[in-house]
Amino acid sequence: MAPSPPPPTTSEASSSTVQKVKSNLVIRSTWAELNGAMGDLGTYIPIVLSLTLAKNLNLGTTLIFTGMYNILTGAIYGVPMPVQPMKSIAAVALSDSAFSVPEIMASGILAGGILLLLGVTGLMQLVYNLIPLCVVRGIQLAQGLSFALTAVKYVRKVQDLPRSKALDQRPWLGFDGLILAIFCVFFIVVINGAGEDQRRVQEPTQQTQDNNRVGRAKRVIFALPSAFLVFVLGVVLAFVRRPKVVHEIKFGPSSMEVVKMSRHAWKEGFIKGTIPQLPLSILNSVIAVCKLSSDLFPGKDFSVTSLSVTVGLMNLVGGWFGAMPCCHGAGGMAGQYKFGGRSGGCVALLGAAKLVLGFVLGSSLAHFFNQFPVGILGVLLLFAGIELAMASRDMNTKEDSFVMLVSTAVSLVGSSAALGFLFGMIVFVLLKLRDWTNGKPINAIWKHDQSPDAQV
């Protein structure tokens, strides 16, 4: 018997880790990765801006911490792993006047602690093994359609973001008008198409086009960073809409202080924020992201354990200093992939930009983002939602499609991923019991296509 190889030394292990981080952060196409970084802003900016204006959330601290999270998760996973605000907690904060910053932070810290516990004990992996793919797809489809419907509302109606209310019909003309939003939609569709790989478009006639001016012009146009250009247009229009906003921006980071949380804040945060947030985080921030990453990035399979741990740690660190509770999100990953994000360098670029803005401009940046055209945010969110919903196209049997659509319908009508998950699981079990009573072998009843041993 051949002797087993000696275990790697500390220096070898450190060298291997450094090489892995470098590989994960490598940027294969600067424009594509920069474009992909814009794919998650349609959800990030409205939520963070709303909480900043309505609840005095420390925008500078949130930018600094989420920027660090972006860079670290990009280095760890090597894919555009999104860092998004916890949506259920944000929704409670915006609808409840008594739910202020201490309650927001307490709910995020408690949710992070529970997710960390589920990860390190292996319970999250057990949950993942038991949940069928068709139910996960139903939650993804519901979340994607929800994003798309919200995006259409942003485009059609004038929005009061701090109050999360739609006002009058959006005018056709103007710096935040319907014509501008429709133009941005058409521009992104023409440049990005349905999201297919550009190499597939070029391969059939690539050799001929090398000597053809029209062919070269097409390749240049189709390589444009559409989402980035649309975002830059929004930045320019924000200044044009209110030039005096420049005088309201102050240089220097916001003061960072430890948030004081009373016993009442912990109680209210847990009951009103943590409990409704946990199902969404488990399903959409961990399980759905794990499955979506294996779909979009073959060979880059991650364990739900690692995702649960990173979400937990993010909130156990930043929550004490007033940073918005954060998680991963299947919609953010889909949006970043849609616009060209393919590596950890994509979110690292976004994280670096957040750090610069957080340290240089701090919370005064809220005055600027309050002028950003909401219609353009809606356009970015629309494509992120559609890309996430398209993940459900791999349901090949009528039974799986039925369960998926039940989960989707209940999630959308009840505005609750947890409710959709519950009904989807009940219908799935009933169908399997029906198969069992019809004589189908027990080992063929419960199938779950995933890799339980996948690790980061």
Residue-wise pLDDT tens digits, 385-444: 888 888 888 888 999 999 999 999 998 887 677 788 899 999 999 998 888 887 666 555
Residues near 373 by beta carbon (within 8 Å), at least 6 away in sequence? 175, 176, 180, 181, 234, 237, 238, 241
> What is the three-class DSSP state of 123?
helix
What are the sequence ranges of the domains in the chain? Answer: 27-198+213-394
Residue-wise pLDDT tens digits, 63-119: 999 999 999 999 999 999 999 999 888 888 887 888 999 999 999 999 999 999 999
Task: Give the integer Cα–Cα distance in Å for 50 and 370.
Answer: 9
> What is the three-class DSSP state of 85?
strand
In this prediction, residue 54 carries a pLDDT of: 82
* Residue 377, pLDDT above cutoff 80: yes
* Residue 247, pLDDT above cutoff 80: yes
Is the pLDDT higher at 353 or at 450? 353
Which one, of 72, 71, 63, lies nearest residue 44 by Cα? 63
The pLDDT of 255-275, averaged and rounded, is 92
Residue-wise pLDDT tens digits, 170-179: 999 999 999 9
Cβ count near 269 (within 10 Å): 27
What is the band of 196 on the pLDDT scale with cuts at 50, 70, 90?
low
Residue-wise pLDDT tens digits, 32-79: 898 899 888 887 888 888 888 888 899 999 999 999 999 999 999 999
Is the pLDDT higher at 13 or at 433? 433
One DSSP character per residue, 154-211 reads HHHEEEEGGGTEEEEEPPSSSTTSHHHHHHHHHHHHHHHTTS--HHHHHGGGHHHHTT
Task: Give the integer Cα–Cα distance in Å for 64 and 355.
Answer: 5
In this prediction, residue 58 carries a pLDDT of: 92
What is the band of 450 on the pLDDT scale with cuts at 50, 70, 90?
very low
One DSSP character per residue, 335-355 reads HHHHTT--SHHHHHHHHHHHH
Task: Give the integer Cα–Cα distance in Å for 36 and 33.
Answer: 5
* Residue 326, pLDDT above cutoff 70: yes
Instruction: Give the Å distances, CA to CA, from 360 to 49, 51, 209, 349.
Output: 18, 21, 46, 16
**End-to-end Cα separation, the chain, in angstroms:** 31
Residues near 379 by beta carbon (within 8 Å), at least 6 away in sequence? 42, 151, 155, 181, 184, 185, 188, 230
Residue-wise pLDDT tens digits, 285-317: 899 899 888 888 887 778 899 999 999 999 999
Residue-wise pLDDT tens digits, 179-195: 999 999 999 998 888 76
Residue-wise pLDDT tens digits, 217-245: 676 677 678 888 999 999 999 999 989 88
Identify the bridge partners of residue 85 per DSSP, sorted by sequence position.
326
CA dihedral 72, 73, 74, 77 (to 10 degrees): 130
The pTM assigned to this predicted structure is: 0.81
CA atoms lying within 13 Å on the CB side of residue 419: 10
The pLDDT of 254-261, averaged and rounded, is 90
CB 116 within 8 Å of CB 309: yes
Residue-wise pLDDT tens digits, 16-27: 788 888 888 888
Residue-wise pLDDT tens digits, 197-208: 544 444 444 554
Residues near 195 by beta carbon (within 8 Å), at least 6 away in sequence? 337, 338, 387, 390
Residue position matching structure tokens 């900016």: 45
Which one, of 416, 448, 445, lies nearest residue 287 by Cα? 448
In this prediction, residue 354 carries a pLDDT of: 95
What is the band of 454 on the pLDDT scale with cuts at 50, 70, 90?
very low
In this prediction, residue 20 carries a pLDDT of: 84
What is the band of 213 on the pLDDT scale with cuts at 50, 70, 90?
low
In this prediction, residue 123 carries a pLDDT of: 94
In this prediction, residue 43 carries a pLDDT of: 79
* Residue 381, pLDDT above cutoff 90: no
In this prediction, residue 368 carries a pLDDT of: 85
